[in-house]
Structure 1
């Protein structure tokens, strides 16, 4: 884990970072089902899945989200904290054995209601091993400014 202090003024629109890959396992799916109570057949019943268009068990969207976001947490900025996520979409299914990677791009910066903070939006894209996009969302950060905006 790497601590990287960045203030609002340090973020540049268009800057991106990319993670290494992570293979989704059956254990991931079973553990996630147990943690969330989501035992829908899409995730747990291989025989039922054979009768569906996707043909095999798929990872929970929330599993893809939590692993994907967790993969981006290799840098800790003590000057920022998460406000939440917007526009979350599951584009394609993720299957057991798929390897996902994440690309995070700074897509927007704006003022915050609190003058000592700025808002930074990171556009998050999760890809599978075939370079197909499987999930997208926007991560909203509140980031300390180097100087208080009320003094300008």
Structure 2
């Protein structure tokens, strides 16, 4: 779905959420192959039994990718991703965990071109127990309807 949501239309503290997505062993194996990250924390079940979490954990970058992908439900024709800040992996995600995402508009500020502004989204990722597992800030470069704001 294509939409147009201008800078002025973003409201601080407004939120949206996603449906759940269960992380599978296949997700981890494919991600390891795509990234080259075959660390035993993700790939070696026997070694993991000797470690703190006792089982394999999903790559942080996998959780980031799945979480951000799940928020991409429509294309805003007047906005583009400017980047991500403050990515933190709070808790491990295990095979079989189901994650969901809450996105909150946390800030708006001027941009060097007066025709655009920056919108910051706080992205919080939760597991099936509603424990936060990851968070980051997503910065959007958004066109303005007018240059007055």
| Alpha-carbon offset, residue 75 of structure 1 | 2.0
Other-structure match for 2:147: 148
Per the alignment, residue 75 of structure 2 pairs with 76
Instruction: State how far apart, in whole Å, the 2-side matches of 1:4 and 1:78 are.
Output: 6
Q: Which residue number corresponds to residue 93 of structure 1?
A: 92
Aligned residue in 1 for 2:27: 28
The DSSP-based 3-state class of the residue aligned with 1:69 is helix
Structure 2 counterparts to residues 2-151 of structure 1, below 5 A: 2-149=1-148
Q: In the TM superposition, what is the alpha-carbon distance from 1:111 to its structure 2 partner?
A: 0.5
SS at the partner of 1:96?
A: coil
Aligned equivalents of 2:43, 2:104: Cα separation in 1 = 34
Q: TM-score, normalised by structure 1?
A: 0.96
How many angstroms apart in 1 are the aligned matches of 2:74 and 2:17?
12
- Name stretches of at least 5 consecutive residues in structure 1 with no aligned partner: none
TM-score by length of 2: 0.98
Q: Distance in 2 between matches of 1:38 and 1:53?
A: 20
Deviations 1:25-76 (A, max 9, x none): 0000000000000000000000000000100000000000000000000021
More deviation, 97-106/3-12: 3-12
Task: Tell me the C-alpha RMSD between the 2 structures.
Answer: 0.9
Q: Secondary structure at the match of 2:41?
A: helix
User: Equivalent residue of 1:33, what SS?
Assistant: helix
The 1-side partners of 2:2 and 2:21 are apart by 22
Q: Which runs of 4+ in 1 moved over 2 A?
A: none
